[in-house]
């Protein structure tokens, strides 16, 4: 980002979250400036997906503060509808409606939540399907698409809400390498267009190439943070070990 100080879109401050007696987040703090890509990496169970889900208030934190696009996510009185108009989230499962065409799947939320007219929603749908390279599949049904194509439709569906920040939770973990490449190219394109993103990923090369900042989580804490180059030169034994076995 050029010019003055970057505005912060996502901020977590001393966030704690337990499930029963299992403390999953133990004082997590990080921030995401506008237009930046932050990749969260770490072993299974390190808290990375939970941290992501807390940003969209899919999980309610026990302690700490989260602010996203000016919304105080940790505030019990938050208007979730308004938060989720600003935050798009894509999971590893696509969750498309099988009885609706691709176009209808993408049109649904803009019509229901943002009260767009049918024509406006269709235009949005076509624009976002073009962004993910699937406009030619607008009239297809999900079952006629590959996993990679379905995941790209799920991304288009989130983009159609015109969010200020996109969250991606291991969106390629169910895909084979070729389809993974398809989806990662879409995310890379979004990064080049200046979309603010937080992604939980196990694709290390991709993270190193695309992310402005990488956060390595370990045992519920932010353990090491740095640019993509930190993966080649880990400063902690834990990240060294993770890079040795995690690739």
Give the pLDDT band of residue 236 (cuts 50, 70, 90): very high
Tokens (6 digits) for 86: 């600003």
Element (H, E) at 228: none
Asked if residue 42 lies in contact with residue 200, where contact means CB atoms within 8 angstroms, the answer is no
pLDDT at position 152, please?
A: 93
pTM exceeds cut of 0.85: yes
Q: CA-to-CA distance for 148 and 128, rounded, in angstroms?
A: 16
H-type alpha helices, the chain: 48-55, 80-86, 102-112, 118-131, 147-159, 177-192, 204-210, 237-246
Give the mean model confidence (pLDDT) for residues 2-26: 86
pLDDT (0 to 100) of residue 113: 86
Question: What is the residue extent of each domain of the chain?
Answer: 8-96+165-246
Number of Cα atoms under 13 Å in the Cβ half of residue 124: 25
Pairing of strands 221-226, 63-68: unpaired
- pLDDT confidence tier of residue 175, bands split at 50, 70 and 90: confident
Read off φ and ψ for residue 38, nearest 5 degrees: -115, 125
By CB atoms closer than 10 A (0-12, 13-18, 19+), residue 162 is middle
CATH match of 8-96+165-246 with 3.40.50.300: yes
**What pLDDT is attached to residue 4?**
37
- What is the dihedral sign for C-alpha 18, 247, 168, 177? negative
Q: How confident is the model at residue 246 (pLDDT cuts 50, 70, 90)?
A: low
């Amino acid at each position: 980002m050029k010019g003055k100080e970057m505005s912060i879109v996502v901020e977590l401050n001393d966030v704690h979250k337990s499930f029963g007696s299992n403390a999953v987040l133990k004082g997590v703090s990080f921030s995401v400036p506008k237009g930046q890509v932050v990749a969260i990496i770490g072993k299974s169970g390190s808290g990375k997906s939970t941290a992501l889900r807390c940003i969209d208030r899919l999980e309610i934190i026990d302690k700490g503060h989260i602010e996203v696009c000016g919304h105080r996510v940790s505030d019990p009185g938050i208007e979730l509808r308004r938060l989720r108009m600003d935050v798009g989230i894509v999971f590893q499962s696509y969750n498309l409606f099988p009885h609706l065409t691709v176009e209808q799947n993408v049109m649904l939320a803009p019509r229901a939540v943002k009260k767009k007219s049918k024509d406006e929603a269709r235009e949005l749908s076509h624009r976002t399907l073009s962004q993910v390279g699937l406009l030619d599949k607008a009239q297809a049904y999900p079952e006629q698409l590959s996993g990679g194509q379905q995941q790209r439709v799920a991304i288009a569906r989130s983009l159609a809400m015109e969010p200020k920040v996109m969250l991606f939770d291991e969106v390629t973990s169910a895909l084979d390498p070729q389809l993974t490449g398809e989806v990662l190219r879409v995310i890379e394109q979004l990064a080049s267009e200046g979309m603010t993103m937080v992604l939980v990923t196990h694709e290390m090369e991709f993270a190193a190439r695309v992310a402005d900042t990488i956060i390595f989580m370990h045992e519920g804490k932010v353990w090491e943070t740095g640019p993509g180059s930190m993966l080649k030169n880990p400063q902690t034994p834990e990240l060294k070990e993770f890079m040795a076995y995690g690739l």
